Amino acid sequence: MNRRIWYELVAAGVLAASLVGAVLAAAGAALQQTLGGAASSLCSAAFLVPGLYFLAYSRRLRSRDLALAHAAAFVRTRNTIRVQDLADELKVPRGDAERILRIAIQEGYLDGTFESGDRFVSERGPLRSAPEER
């Protein structure tokens, strides 16, 4: 299981705990239990913040996976590509494009070798094209 799924599961659990705290706070308020309602409200807020953070982080990981898949698909359409061509396609500096290419290779979206520092030769084969295949 990849990191994104773990973060989504943790976010769901923490947000569920926050919801339980909110329900208990509402029950404490309805039963006029001031101390219990206040404690439940505090716990609900304490769980809400990390839950939202974990959820946002999992969404960020999903966006990253989609961007790597897009870069790999662009490179696979050509046998040989200059790093600057990828940088122009992604509208990023050359150094960032090279880093994206290396990460795509490392995470299995793309297979190939660098030649003379500026050229990348793609090897065609059955590689994953979407993050869901991981």
Kindly report, residue by residue over 66-104, the tens digit of the pLDDT: 989 988 888 888 888 899 998 998 899 999 989 999 999
pTM of the full predicted structure? 0.71
* CATH (domain of 118): 1.10.10.10
Domain carrying residue 33:
3-133
What are the counts of helices (DSSP H) followed by strands (DSSP E) for the chain? 4, 3
Q: What is the dihedral of CA 88, 68, 72, 69, to 10 degrees?
A: -120
pLDDT of residue 79: 80
* Total of domains in the chain: 1
The C-alpha atoms of residue 68 and residue 103 are separated, in whole angstroms, by 8
